[in-house]
Amino acid sequence: MLTNTFIHIPGIGIKSEKNIWQAGVMEWQDFKPLLSSGISRGKALTADQCLQESISQLENDNPSYFSKKLPANQQWRFFPDFRKTAAYIDIETTGLDTYNKITTIALYDGNDIHWYVHGKNLDDFAKDIFKYKMVITYNGKSFDVPFIENYFGIKMNHAHIDLRYVLSSLGYKGGLKKCEKAFGIDRGELDGVDGFFAVILWNEYIKNNNRKALETLLAYNIEDVINLEYLMVAAYNLKLKSTPFYESKQIDIPETPEVSFKADLKTVKRLKPLTTHNYYY
C-alpha cells in the first residue's frame, strides 16, 4: 500500500489522493507530473520531487522517513513494506509515573518472543531494541516509548505505528483489552488480568519469591505483544476497504505462536481479591 500512497506529499490530502487514483495513477511509478494526474500542475511538480525521494527512502529500507511524513492514523500504510524490521513491544511497570520502574518487557518480532525482567536481563532490552527499525505498540507513543527512553536514558528513533490511533480511526476505542474483545480475541485464563493486576503479580513475586506469579505476569505481558500483531494485520485489512486496493493488498492473519509461560490459575484466584485494596500497590 505504501507505493500506492500519495498523502505523505505536502498539499495532498485524502480527497486529492482519491482524485489521483481516479485519474488512473495507482502507483508511484505511474505518476507523470506533466500529464493529467487529478491534481493541479503545481502540486504535481511538488509531488514528483517527493515521490523520487520516497522511492530512494524505500530502497534504503528507511521506515522512519514515512513514519514522519504520514499522520498517526495513516501509518498502517507502510506496515507490509517494513514488517520484517518490526518489533511489537509492551512494558509492565510498578506505576504510571516516571519515578516508577519497569518490571517486565515483552518483545515479539513475528518469529521470536523475547522477554526481559527487572533484576535479571532487563538492561539487554536497551541494546536489543536497536536490532529493529520499527516498533508497533498500543498507546506506546504516550506511555511505553517515553517511559523506556526515560528509564534507560536512550532515544528510540524508530518508525512507530501506534495502534491506538489506527484502531480509533476505525471506531475501536477504550484500551487494548476492549479492542481485543471487539476483534474476538479470547485471552482464556488471562481474561480479566490488567495492568493493575500486573503490579500485584510483580509484588507477589518480589515479596514471596513466587515464580508462578512471575510466569503469570510474563504470560500476560507476552500475550499483549502477540495480540498486537493480530490487531495490526486486521486493522491494515480493514483500512484497505476505503481504498481501491482491498482485493489485491490484503494480508493473511498470522498464526498464534507457542508461548512457554502459562498463567497459574491458583495464583490468579488467590490474588484477585487484592485488586480492591490499594495497600498492595
Q: Is residue 188 part of a domain?
A: yes
Q: Looking at the structure, do residues 95 and 217 belong to the same domain, yes or no? A: yes
Largest pairwise CA distance in the chain: 72
Q: Is residue 134 part of a domain?
A: yes
Q: Looking at the structure, do residues 97 and 226 belong to the same domain, yes or no? A: yes
Count the helices and strands in the chain (H runs, E runs).
Answer: 11, 5
Q: Is residue 165 part of a domain?
A: yes
Q: Looking at the structure, do residues 133 and 268 belong to the same domain, yes or no? A: yes
Q: Looking at the structure, do residues 41 and 172 belong to the same domain, yes or no? A: no
- Decide the pairing of beta strands 102-108 and 86-93: antiparallel
The alpha-helical segments, DSSP class H, found in the chain are 14-22, 41-59, 63-69, 125-128, 144-152, 163-169, 176-182, 195-208, 211-239, 246-249, 265-271
Q: Looking at the structure, do residues 99 and 189 belong to the same domain, yes or no? A: yes
Q: Phi, psi (5° rounding) for residue 162?
A: -100, 110
Q: Looking at the structure, do residues 55 and 86 belong to the same domain, yes or no? A: no
CA-to-CA distance for 86 and 262, rounded, in angstroms? 25
Place of cell 515521490: 51
Q: Is residue 66 part of a domain?
A: no
pLDDT at 170: 97
Task: Estimate to the nearest angstrom the gap between the alpha carbon of 38 and the chain centroid.
Answer: 33
Q: DSSP letter at 257?
A: P
C-alpha cell at 230: 493480530
C-alpha cell at 26: 495507482
For the chain, 281 residues long, give each residue's pLDDT as a single digit of tens: 999 999 999 989 999 999 999 999 999 999 887 676 777 888 888 889 999 999 999 999 999 999 999 999 999 999 999 999 999 999 999 976 767 899 999 999 999 999 999 999 999 999 999 999 999 999 999 999 999 999 999 999 999 999 999 999 999 999 999 999 999 998 887 777 788 889 999 999 999 999 999 999 999 999 999 999 999 999 999 999 999 999 999 999 999 999 999 988 898 888 887 765 443 33
Q: Describe the crossing of helices 195-208 and 211-239 by its angle, rounded to 10 degrees.
A: 160
Torsion, Cα 245 111 65 252, to 10 degrees, reads 10
CB atoms within 10 A of CB 70: 19
Q: Looking at the structure, do residues 38 and 122 belong to the same domain, yes or no? A: no
Q: Is residue 263 part of a domain?
A: yes
Q: Is residue 73 part of a domain?
A: no
Q: Looking at the structure, do residues 225 and 148 belong to the same domain, yes or no? A: yes
Q: Looking at the structure, do residues 93 and 182 belong to the same domain, yes or no? A: yes
Q: Looking at the structure, do residues 19 and 102 belong to the same domain, yes or no? A: no
Q: Is residue 244 part of a domain?
A: yes
- Give the CATH number for residue 94: 3.30.420.10
Q: Looking at the structure, do residues 218 and 189 belong to the same domain, yes or no? A: yes
Count how many domains the chain has.
2
Place of cell 527487572: 118
Residue 52 lies in domain = 2-60
Q: Give the residue among 176, 166, 135 at the shortest CA–CA distance from 238.
A: 166
Q: Is residue 72 part of a domain?
A: no
Q: Looking at the structure, do residues 85 and 173 belong to the same domain, yes or no? A: yes
CA-to-CA distance for 93 and 253, rounded, in angstroms? 30
